[in-house]
Amino acid sequence: MTGEAGRPRDPEVDRRVLSAAAEVFGEDGWGRFTVDSVARRAGVGKASIYLRWPNKKELLASCLEARITPVADIDTGSVREDLVRLAEQMLTAFFGESGRATTRLLLEADRIPGVAERVAQLRQAQVLAARAIVRRGIARGELHGGTSVTLLLDAIVGGCLNHALAAPAHLRPQVAAGLTDYAGELVDFVLGAVTAG
């Protein structure tokens, strides 16, 4: 092979393109998401993108998959610690550099053909892993046997969501700086309803 396709790929270009894709999607949504706009934002040629991704759906899917952290890895042996890490992950997803893309996904994922299915799978895996955290807590006797897994997770995951979405633009840096403290406080508050003992 000769030409660009024969050269080793530059991981820095991958990183820049994926980061630009998250920005463009976050700001403009799927309706205006084009390979052209991502190339311009990343400062690379369109050919460099098509060399790596066959079309814009694959580009967006790849960008999102790189940004959705697998909850499955959380298993510290303590339900409080697991839930605090889960809350921190969620808050980081909403306040990090791809925060706007994360929020937009909530709204648009189900309407993007080819992306919807993959995001739904990742989400389903996250939900199952989060439910497993609570079930292990019940099995270890840390939580009441009758604890509602759904309500507990709605309160914690939703609390993070509301904390992130309700923050006015000018307060976001301040709120972002307090994420770790907030995660601990929210989990302790909600666990107050269901802690065995």
Binding site for its own copies (CB under 8 A): 28-29, 31-32, 100, 103-104, 106-107, 110, 120, 123, 127, 148, 151-163, 165-166, 168-169, 185-186, 189-194
Shortest approach of its own copies to residue 122 CB, angstroms?
Answer: 13
**Residue 35 contacts residue 50 (beta carbons within 8 Å):** yes
Closest CB to its own copies among 50 and 189?
189
Closest CB to its own copies among 52 and 123?
123
SS3 195: strand
Closest CB to its own copies among 56 and 163?
163
Q: What is the DSSP string of 20-36?
A: HHHHHHHHH-GGG--HH
Angle, vertex CA 147, rays to CA 132 and CA 185, nearest 5: 80
Closest CB to its own copies among 44 and 83?
83
Shortest approach of its own copies to residue 188 CB, angstroms?
Answer: 9
Shortest approach of its own copies to residue 16 CB, angstroms?
Answer: 24
Closest CA to 60 of 114, 107, 106: 114
**Residue 120 contacts residue 134 (beta carbons within 8 Å):** no
Cα–Cα distance, 20 to 62 (Å, whole number): 12
Shortest approach of its own copies to residue 89 CB, angstroms?
Answer: 15
Shortest approach of its own copies to residue 49 CB, angstroms?
Answer: 22
SS3 170: helix
Closest CB to its own copies among 114 and 158?
158
